[in-house]
Chains A and B, each alone.
Chain A
Amino acid sequence: MLVKRRHRDAATTGRLSQMAAGMAAKPLDRRSFLRASGLTVGGLAAISTLGAGMTRRVEAAGFTDMSQPIEVKTNICTHCSVGCTVKAEVQNGVWVGQEPAYGSPINRGTHCAKGASVRELVHGDRRIKYPMKKVGGEWQRITWDQALDEIAEKMGEIRSNSGADSVYLLGSAKFSNEGAYLFRKFAAFWGTNNVDHQARICHSTTVAGVANTWGYGAQTNSYNDIRNAKTVIFMGSNAAEAHPVSLQHILEGKETQRANVIVLDPRFTRTAAHATEYVRFRPGTDIAVIHGMLYHIFENGWEDKEYIAQRVWGMDQVREVVKDYTPDVVENISGIDGETLKRVAQQFAQERPSTFIWCMGGTQHTVGTANVRAYNLLLLATGNVGYEGTGANIFRGHCNVQGATDFGLDVGNLPCYYGLGAGAWRHWSRVWDVSYEYFVSRFDAVPAKGGRDARTPEQNMEIPGITSTRWFDAVTIDSEEIDQQDNIKAMIVFGHGGNTVPRMQDAQRGMDALDLLVVADPHPTTFAALHSRTDNTYLLPICTQFECSGSRTASNRSIQWGEKVVDPIFESDNDYAVIYALSERLGFADQMFKNYEMVQGKFGMEPTPESILREINRGGWSTGYTGQSPERLKAHMANQEHFDLITLRAKPDAPAEIQGDYYGLPWPCWGTPELRHPGTHILYNTNLHPMEGGGAFRPRFGLERDGETLLAEGSWPRGSEIQDGYPEFTYALLEQLGWEGDLTPQEMAVIERIGGENIGGVSWSTDLSGGIQRVALEHGCVPFGNGKARAVAWNLPDPIPVHREPIYSSRPDLVAEYPTNADRRQQRMPNIGAVVQADVVERGVARDFPIILTSGRLVEYEGGGEETRSNPWLAELKQDMFVEINPEDASARGIVDGGWVWVTGPEGGSRARVKALVTERVNKGLAFMPFHFAGWFQGEDQRGNYPAGTDPIVLGESVNVITTYGYDPVTGMHEGKVTLCQIAAA
């Protein structure tokens, strides 16, 4: 205990102080001194200036009264995906202080700027305080009942006129797992697959690329495990700003391992400043760079031949493709010289274990999926997946973007990646205890149009919906062009910014054209302010995750339980209650909520998150979301200090209830909670028994291809009774192996009920008893099988990635040889990237817009930024939107640091007025803008569009006013990282 003692105690009273004190009979204050000394102050204008400035303005909210009891609540930071534990001190229902949560093995007490200021979220100065709607262009306060009644009625009207698919349900990576799951379930009951969330615009291409390579679309290792790496590559990731706390593990690992940290990025980022090697390249040329590295690896025989033979299929075809990417070719495309690339490649291949980290610099491209695939090829060729210190360390963006993705806030999936096939619908119908036919009845039939066949409701429910990147096109496009009954007429937006995708001029038109716009969010987003709508626009005050309980999944798949810190402030309410209240009015609440424990909430009944999680546990077999019961998760939060910093495993001295578990039971956590599977810290790790978190690559693409097996050869997880590759476990496979007798009668009964006629087809992912998983694990086998990763993903547009120029290419001379993907229809919409690219080349756009524009994150803000720009502690640190421009480009244009400039884009005469940040971070010919700003639109200040008192402190132009057309052919991911622009002093 540090006790402060002061030198001054004796000195505070002077020799004559007794006299002075006696004169005043009390300690002298200003007034008594003046009286005593006979001074008059009349006529001194000075008095007024004494006012506010003399003492600090302080809100009492932050004072902790040590004489009163303090309640400590633990929750998880609601910003990025690292999953930092927040320790909140609460007194009399007021969150009075944040303390470092030293127990958490993830953040060990630390935070970034955002995490260290989350307490402000419940101050709520600029939150939406009550439901509102726009009437004749003015915001009016209404009650929750009125809001929900009117919204439900309008949704009903739209449904009867245009069909269920005309209502777009845009969810959020800020939901808890339970909220995300509930929202996806809500979409199923409403009858549409038009349900999406932020993963579309951050890592959808990662999920597609990674899942198509080795089985699951998630970070293979963890932030903590990077401490084991000897070589770390960051490509298109600026973790120092986007995931600051992860740098704690990376920098400590770098120091203790003397590791190579290599940053490949067009921009010299804060992460690059701590690298051991920084390599700059032209944005959008990742594939050429990776292939250039693979060229050196194969040329010099640095590949891991044994690993490839045992665990990878198709690498020989890759070897042929990369032969074209000679050092000269790669330097021409990317700007990186051969020697540098050779050095980097050698380190990555030979100074192992090596890990590869990417983020939106890799994913937000027209070649996003192909970029991800290329990264995977580099990892596979060097044998760097499936062990400690290796892996695809994909840093997700938001606090629960992993969980929301897992629970199918995705146009192409039901919860836990079951897809949209009839089997998936039947599985979840069983879990939800609602008939499959009910869901068929909820979906639209789609008429034949635009030369396409008609669809029955049953067919329509298996067709992926419209991606969130194209929602506004789906509002305004010719109805013939959209592959559903009618255009989008209503946007129901829960926790999602409106400035997050390119072409905001078009987004604005889309907002204006909607029949109904509902924004459910703690803050009014750009969705509430960008447009000129006058009516049929609603704002619902949703509380933050600090004002409700629930679990969230960090990037490393660890699931952490957040405990409600304070009650929802003002009239805000939680997602569960609002989704329930809306379902009630839409007539399906009884069916949808029948499995949940309902309790009295703030304004009505609401389901408990625990009971929702228990339903997830009953259905999430395919992803191993079954072992993480609320009790286990809460026990982890209560005993955080017992988990190892590097392995994340509970140490031997841990309480029995968590002993041997990995922190947060990272999925897959197989079987029922009672099985006590510890979770999986490192995916596909054959060095561990599957019951200890071991695994193998998932064979989900058939058993053979081109006459070669797709099952692993000579590689299996430790303890496996099958010492070779094997397919996924089904009841039929158990029978073949003679292991069906290990099933208990209860498990058998469930399997029989599910299988009916085809009991052999019941699999590890549809067996609701968990018996098949349990038996497989007991024999040392991975329930999903033991297969090879695919170096060639034959179902993707580019089975092996090839370089393709961005649509708005700064090198039109390369477009002929490396054109973008051919036009296609995807997710119910046309993608005309090739037409646009040809036009861009023909018009010579690169001449008029000679600067490449890329975008990214700032540490102080997150996502669309309304929440963080409303937080004074953060807003003070970045008060203006800016563009980073190289000193040479700046001086050629007469631009000075801090001066105003106009950034103009090549589509629709777009322009943005921002401040110039003249810096060497960007090289000549490159500009960078952060994407968190909104509230200014092409020079116009839109502050007046926000309801009074809810406007964020800092407003600014959105970069997506300037960004342009371009969508990944697999996931519809937008091109957010490469476009062209011009910059002029304003």
Chain B
Amino acid sequence: MARMKFLCDADRCIECQACVTACKNEHEVPWGINRRRVVTINDGLPGERSVSMACMHCTDAPCAAVCPVACFYTTDDGVVLHNKDTCIGCGYCSYACPFGAPQYPQTANFGTRGKMDKCTYCSGGPEPDMSQAEYVKYGSNRLAEGKLPLCAEMCSTKALLAGDGDIIADIYRERVVTRGYGSGAWGWRTAYGETVTV
């Protein structure tokens, strides 16, 4: 069984934000919710690298550990999803997430954040696959269609890789060997407890 992961090859990422708008486009994500974002470290300096970041679909996801209503679940593909019907918008997952993935449709005063929203690895939610109900709550379900997340599919420089963790780690490893440098599989150690070594 595939274990789906993301890997952003920062030596390819140019902060073009295609992943961000592809996500908005695919799921009609409203203004103010950023399921994916690009962070540039050392901006303007020779060490500069940009990394595209979204939910990493962690092993032993901390969001799931803290969720008071247990709305998170992990699919057989290793994708961490959540149930918006159960979610109470308490915000704990956003405190617990090391990657800033959980998003809320409202400003959070009086606890009225609304239902949490995050990257679904383009695989919807608990509703029937590819149904309108699922789309309205979570966006489209590309995984069920046999496709991968659109952010990675549309990445301008093929920096953002999505797919089975072993396969994308191999692709990354091969790149590092070919070119002789690699700034690391950003977030892997934190999300999966292991990184890609070359």
A115 CB-CB contact with B under 8 Å: yes
In the assembled complex, 23 residue pairs joining A and B whose CB atoms fall closer than 8 Å, in A order, are A4-B75, A4-B79, A6-B81, A53-B113, A56-B136, A58-B28, A63-B136, A107-B156, A111-B154, A112-B17, A240-B16, A241-B16, A244-B14, A244-B156, A248-B157, A251-B12, A255-B178, A270-B48, A273-B50, A859-B17, A873-B25, A920-B44, A921-B44
Interchain CB contact (< 8 A) of A2 among B25, B46, B77? B77
Max count, chain A CB within 10 A of own CB: residue among B14, B26, B89, B140: B14
Once the chains are docked, how many angstroms separate the CA of A900 from the CA of B106? Answer: 27
Stretch at the interface among B55-63, B93-101, B127-135, B185-193: B127-135
User: Which single member of A52, A110, A919 contacts B158 (CB below 8 Å)?
Assistant: A110
Binding site for A on B (CB under 8 A): 2, 11-12, 14-22, 24-34, 43-46, 48-50, 73-77, 79, 81, 84, 89, 104-106, 110, 112-115, 117, 123-124, 126, 129-130, 132, 135-137, 140-141, 143-146, 150, 153-158, 175, 178-180
5 closest cross-chain pairs (CB), A and B: A53-B114, A113-B17, A921-B44, A244-B16, A920-B44
Tell me whether A53 and B156 are in contact in the complex, defined as CB-CB below 8 angstroms, given that A4-B123, A4-B144, A113-B20 are known contacts: no
Q: Cβ of B2: which chain A residues have Cβ within 8 Å of it?
A: 2
Given A245-B157, A273-B48, 11 additional A-B pairs, CB 8 A:
A4-B141, A56-B117, A56-B136, A97-B140, A98-B25, A113-B17, A116-B19, A244-B16, A247-B156, A248-B157, A919-B43
CB distance from B72 to the nearest CB of A (A): 10
Any B CB within 8 A of the CB of A877:
yes
From A107, A258, A274, residue with most partner B Cβ within 10 Å:
A274
- A residues adjacent to B (C-beta < 8 A): 1-8, 11-12, 49, 52-66, 97-98, 100, 107-117, 119-120, 240-241, 244-245, 247-248, 251-252, 254-256, 258, 268, 270-271, 273-274, 278, 859-860, 872-874, 876-877, 919-922
Chain B positions within 8 Å of A111 at CB level = 18, 22, 154, 156
Q: Which one of A53, A117, A271 lies within 8 Å of B106 (CB-CB)?
A: A53
Residues A4 and B158 in contact, CB atoms below 8 Å apart: no
Give Cα distance in the complex from A294 to B16, angstroms.
34
A7 in complex: contacting residue of B43, B74, B84, CB < 8 Å = B74
Residues on the A chain within 8 Å of B153, using CB: 100, 109-110
Identify the closest chain A residue to B180 (Cβ). Answer: A258
A56 pairs with B129, CB closer than 8 A: no
Instruction: Count chain A CB atoms within 10 A of each CB in B32, B48, B145 and give the residue with the most.
Output: B48
Q: What is the distance, in angstroms, from B104's C-beta to the closest C-beta of chain A?
A: 8
**A107 CA to B153 CA, complexed, in Å:** 11
* Shortest Cβ distance from B150 into A: residue: A100
Residues of B within 8 A of A248 (CB): 156-158
Asked if A100 contacts B154 (CB within 8 A), the reply is yes
Q: Which residues of A contact B34 (CB under 8 A)?
A: 876
The residues of A that contact B89 with a CB separation of less than 8 Å are: 53-54
CB-defined contacts of B84 to chain A, threshold 8 Å: 55
Chain B residues within 8 Å of A62, by CB: 25-28, 135, 140
Cα separation A97 to B26 with both chains bound (whole Å): 7
Cβ–Cβ contact A873 & B21, under 8 A: yes
Alpha-carbon distance A66/B18, docked complex (angstroms): 25
Nearest A-chain residue to B30, judged by Cβ: A57
Q: How far is the CA of A107 from the CA of B49 in the complex (A)?
A: 23
- Inter-chain CA distance A107–B112, complex, in Å, is 43
Q: Give the interface centre of A64, A113, A252, A256 by most chain B CB atoms within 10 Å.
A: A113
Measured CA separation A111–B22 after assembly (Å): 9
Measured between alpha carbons, how far is A53 from B180 in the docked complex, in Å?
Answer: 48
Residue of A nearest to B153 (CB): A100
| Distance A859 CA – B140 CA, assembled complex (angstroms) | 26
Chain A residues near B117 (CB-CB < 8 A):
56
Please name all residues of chain A whose beta carbon is closer than 8 Å to the beta carbon of B46 when the two chains form the complex.
Answer: 268, 273, 278
Contacts of B48 in A (CB 8 A): 268, 270, 273
Task: Give the contacting residue for B45; candidates A7, A112, A245, A920; CB below 8 A.
Answer: A920
- In the assembled complex, the Cα of A653 lies from the Cα of B175 at a distance in Å of 29
A7/B44 contact (C-beta < 8 A), A270-B15, A877-B17 known? no
Distance, CA A100 to CA B142, complexed state (A): 12
Shortest distance from the beta carbon of A314 to any chain B beta carbon, whole Å: 39
In the complex, what residue of chain B is closest to A920 when comparing beta carbons? B44
Contacts of B73 in A (CB 8 A): 6-8, 11
In whole Å, how far is B163's beta carbon from the nearest beta carbon of chain A? 10
Cα-based distance from A6 to B124 in the complex (angstroms)? 12
Q: Which residues of A contact B81 (CB under 8 A)?
A: 6
User: Are the C-beta atoms of B157 and A4 separated by less than 8 Å?
Assistant: no
A114 to B21, CA, bound (A): 8
A258 — which chain B residues lie within 8 A by C-beta? 179-180
B156 contacts A110, C-beta separation under 8 Å: yes
Q: Which of A59, A107, A245, A278 has the most CB of B within 10 A?
A: A245
Task: Please state if A116 and B154 are interface contacts (CB–CB under 8 Å).
Answer: yes
In the complex, what's the smallest C-beta–C-beta distance from A9 to chain B, in angstroms? 9
Let me know if A268 and B44 touch, CB within 8 A.
yes
Query: How far, in Å, is B151 (CB) from chain A's closest CB?
Result: 8
Partner of A110, one of B110, B143, B155, B179: B155
Assembly CA distance A554 to B4 (angstroms): 36
Kindly list chain A residues whose C-beta atoms are within 8 Å of the C-beta of B30: 56-58
Q: Specify the chain A residue showing the minimal Cβ separation from B34.
A: A876
How far, in Å, is A121 (CB) from chain B's closest CB? 11
With contacts A6-B73, A7-B73, A254-B179 taken as known, whether A113 is within 8 angstroms of B18 at the C-beta atoms is yes
| Nearest-CB residue, chain B, relative to A123 | B28
Question: Within the assembled complex, what's the spacing in Å between the Cα atoms of A611 and B113?
Answer: 57
Q: Across the interface, which residues of A come within 8 angstroms of B110, CB to CB?
A: 49
User: Is A7 a contact of B156 with CB atoms below 8 Å?
Assistant: no
Whether A116 and B22, one on each chain, are in contact in the complex, defined by CB atoms closer than 8 angstroms, is: yes
Question: How long is the Cα–Cα vector from A720 to B25 in the complex, in angstroms?
Answer: 52
A59 to B29 Cα, complex, angstroms: 9
Cβ of B27: which chain A residues have Cβ within 8 Å of it? Answer: 62
CB neighbours (8 Å) of A255 from chain B are 175, 178-179
The answer, among B11, B132, B178, for a CB contact under 8 Å with A256, is: B178
Most central of B154, B155, B179 by chain A CB within 10 Å: B154
Query: Which B residues are CB-close (under 8 A) to A874?
Result: 21
The residue that B146 contacts in the complex, of A2, A12, A59, A919, with Cβ under 8 A, is: A2
Checking A54, A63, A120, A270 against B50 with a beta-carbon cut-off of 8 angstroms, the contacting residue is A270
Task: Determine the residue in chain B with the shortest Cβ distance to A12.
Answer: B126
- Shortest beta-carbon distance from B139 to chain A in Å: 8
A254, B77: Cα distance in complex, Å: 34
- Bound Cα distance A98, B21 (Å): 11
B101 to chain A, nearest CB (A): 16
Of A8, A119, A874, A922, most buried by chain B (CB within 10 Å of CB) is A8
Given contacts A2-B144, A100-B150, A120-B25, contact A920 B43 (CB under 8 A): yes
Q: How far is the CB of A169 from chain B (nearest CB, A)?
A: 34
Q: Which residues of A contact B16 (CB under 8 A)?
A: 112-113, 240-241, 244, 247, 859
Residues of B within 8 A of A120 (CB): 25
Q: Which residues of chain B are within 8 angstroms of A114 by Cβ–Cβ distance?
A: 21
Give Cα A49 to B156, complex, Å: 41
Collect the chain B residues with CB atoms within 8 Å of residue A109's CB: 153-154
CB distance from B129 to the nearest CB of A (A): 7
Q: Which of A65, A110, A251, A920 contacts B132 (CB 8 A)?
A: A65
Q: Are B45 and A268 in contact (CB under 8 A)?
A: yes
Which residues in B have their C-beta under 8 angstroms from that of A872? 24, 31
Given A63-B135, A100-B153, A4:B77 Cβ within 8 A: yes
Q: A237: shortest Cβ distance to chain B, in Å? A: 13
Interface centre among B22, B76, B137, B144 (most CB of A within 10 A): B22
Query: Is the CB–CB distance between A3 and B45 below 8 Å?
Result: no
Inter-chain CA distance A11–B71, complex, in Å, is 11
State the CA gap A7–B73 with chains docked (Å). 7
Q: Once the chains are docked, how many angstroms separate the CA of A63 from the CA of B73? A: 24
Tell me which of A6, A108, A117 contacts B76 (CB under 8 A). A6
Question: B146 to A273, Cβ gap below 8 A?
Answer: no
- A49 — which chain B residues lie within 8 A by C-beta? 110, 112
Q: How far is the CB of A555 from chain B (nearest CB, A)?
A: 16
User: Within 8 Å CB of A876, what residues of B?
Assistant: 24, 31-32, 34
